[in-house]
Amino acid sequence: MAKGNTGHEREVGGLDLGDRYSRLCILDGATGEVVEEGRIATTEAALRRRFESVERMRIAIEVGTHSPWVSRLLSECGHEVIVANPRKVRLIYKNRRKNDAIDAMYLARLARTDPALLAPIHHRGQEAQKNLAMLRGRDALVKSRAQLINHVRGAVKATGKRLPRWGSEAFARKATGALPPELVTALGPVIEVIASLTAQIRTCERALEVLAEAYPETLLLRQVKGVGPITSLAFVLTLEDPTRFAKSRAVGPYLGLVPAQRDSGESKPQLRISKEGDAFLRRLLVGSAQYILGSFGEDCDLRRHGMKLGASGSKKDKKRAVVAVARKLAVLLHRLWQSQATYDPLYNAKRTVSTSLAA
C-alpha cells in the first residue's frame, strides 16, 4: 500500500486521548477489521515514534485539553486528522458501556464510515492558542478577584454590617480601613491578595493592549463603541480566519448565540440558546451587548434593535434583547473584519429612511 492512498484502502485510526495514556484502535480501511488495539503514552516522543514513519492514515481524536497539540503533531507526521466533538456524537457520550477502548473503536469506525458524523471542529494555530492563553489568564485573575471580594462582603454581612458598593479596582484600597475590627485579622490577608490580583490584572491588560496592536484587524472591530481591546482580540484569535464562514450570519450559531432546536413533527418548542462554541468569547460579546444597551451606550442600530425587543421591561425580554444584540454584534464584527469597512452606527436606520423617501 503506497503512502498517500485515499478512501477505504488506507488504515483508519481512533485515538481516545488521556492525560497520561491514550487508547488506540486501528482498522483496515477496506474491511473494517481491527488491525491493532493498544495503549500509548500521551507524550510527543511516544506519538512521534508510533506515527511518524508509517503510511498516511485517517486518525480521529476527541476534542479536549491535549487535542490541539496532538492534532498538530499528527498532521506534521503526514496524517489526516479529524478532531471530533463528542457532544455531537451520542454513540460516544451516551454509551452505557463507555470506556477508553470502546471510545477509540467508535472514533475509528465513524471516521471510516463518514467523518461528518463526528462533527469535526477546527483547532486554531499555535500562535493564536498562545495569545488566547493570555486572555484567559487575565479572565482567571478577574474571576478569582470577584470570588474573594464576594467572600469579604459576605463575611462582613454576617456581622450585621455592609460594605459600600465600591468598584473592583478600588475595593482593596477602600476596604482596608472599613472592615469591622473583629474581622481585620481574618480578612486582612484576603484584602492583600485582592490588591495583588488587581495589580496583576492591570499588568495583563497593558500587555493585551500591546498585543492587540499586533493585530490591526482589532482596530476595525473597536469602531463599535462597547467593543474594547480584550473583546476584539478574543474575537480575532478565536475565529482566526474570517473566510472560514461563507456568511457572517453563520458566526452567531458558531458561538452558540441562537436558540437550540428540538423540533419534531408539529412540535416546535422555544428553547434557550444552544451555548455551543467558545463560552469565553460568547460571554465577552454578551458583556459588550449589555454596555450597548446600558446608559452609556451610543445611539446605533444595535441599541435600537435591543431596546425594541426589551420594550416591555420584563426581565425575560431584557435577557432576550441582550442575547439578540450579542448575536447581531458577532455578525457585525465579522462583517467589518471581512469587508474592512468603516462602521456606520446608524447604517440600517439611514437606509430605511432613504427607502421610505424613494417610495
Give the least confident one: 74-88, 193-207, 271-285: 271-285
Please tell me the pTM assigned to this model.
Answer: 0.80
Query: What percent of the chain shows pLDDT beyond 90?
Result: 72
DSSP structure string for 104-120: HHHHHHHHHH-GGGG--
Q: What is the mean pLDDT of residues 239-259?
A: 90
Strand partners, 34: 27
Confidence of residue 1 (pLDDT cuts 50, 70, 90): very low
Pairwise CA distance, residues 46 & 77, whole Å: 13
Q: What is the mean pLDDT of residues 190-208?
A: 97
Q: Which of 165, 179, 172, 232 is nearest to 201 (CA)?
A: 172
Pairwise CA distance, residues 343 & 131, whole Å: 26
Note the pLDDT of residue 350. 83
Indicate if the pLDDT at residue 358 is higher than 80: no
Give me the phi and psi of 135, to 5 degrees please: -65, -45
Confidence of residue 4 (pLDDT cuts 50, 70, 90): very low
Note the pLDDT of residue 98. 64
Confidence of residue 3 (pLDDT cuts 50, 70, 90): very low
Indicate if the pLDDT at residue 225 is higher than 70: yes
Query: What percent of the chain shows pLDDT beyond 70?
Result: 90
User: If you average pLDDT over each of 73-82, 97-106, 124-133, 347-356, which comes out highest?
Assistant: 73-82
Indicate if the pLDDT at residue 133 is higher than 50: yes
Looking at every residue in the chain, the average pLDDT score rounds to 89
Here the cell at position 341 is 469597512
The burial class, CB within 10 Å (0-12 / 13-18 / 19+), for 316 is exposed
Contact between 288 and 329 (Cβ < 8 Å): yes
Contact between 14 and 111 (Cβ < 8 Å): yes
Between residues 10 and 60, the one the model is more confident about: 60
Q: What is the mean pLDDT of residues 39-64?
A: 94
Give the least confident one: 31-40, 49-58, 94-103, 216-225: 94-103
What are the distances in angstroms from CA 261 to CA 257, 273, 275?
12, 9, 12
Contact between 109 and 14 (Cβ < 8 Å): yes
- Return the C-alpha torsion angle 113, 114, 118, 119, nearest 10: -170
